[in-house]
Amino acid sequence: MEKDKKERINNFTSPPNIRSTYDSIMMIETIIGTQWAEKVPVSIPVYNIAGDQDPVGLYGEGVYAVSSWLAETGNEVKTKLYSGYCHEIHKYRDIRDEVEDGMIDFINQVIAQS
C-alpha cells in the first residue's frame, strides 16, 4: 500500500505517457486568447512564472501572452521569467530559494490585500 501511495505522488516526475502528452497538448491549445482568460475568475490573483528557455511557455513569449490576456480581462497578474532556465524552475538549486521567495511574497501580498 505504501508503494502505491508513493507512485501516485510521483506521477508528475515519471516519464510522460501518451495520455499525459495528449492532455498537456489539449490544455495548451485551450489556453488561447482573451476568450479563455474571461473564464478565469478575477477574484483569483495569478502569479505566472517560468524559465525563458522553456519551450512549453514558448521561450517566454507564451508566458507574457497569457499574462496579457489575463490583464486585459481584468485579472490581477504578476509575471516573472527566470533568464536562462527551462521547465520546472523550482528544481534548479541555484534559483530554488529565489523562486520560492517569489511565490511566498506573492501569496503574502494577496493576503495583505484581503
Phi-psi region of 76 (alpha: psi -120 to 50; beta: other; left: phi over 0): beta
pLDDT in tens, 14-66: 666 788 778 877 877 788 888 889 999 999 999 999 999 998 888 999 999 99
Residues 6+ apart with CB under 8 A from 62: 56
**pLDDT at residue 5 in the model:** 43
* Full domain range(s) for residue 62: 2-113
| CA–CA dist 79, 63 (Å, integer) | 8
The number of domains in the chain is 1
**pLDDT tens by residue, 89-110:** 988 999 999 999 999 999 999 9
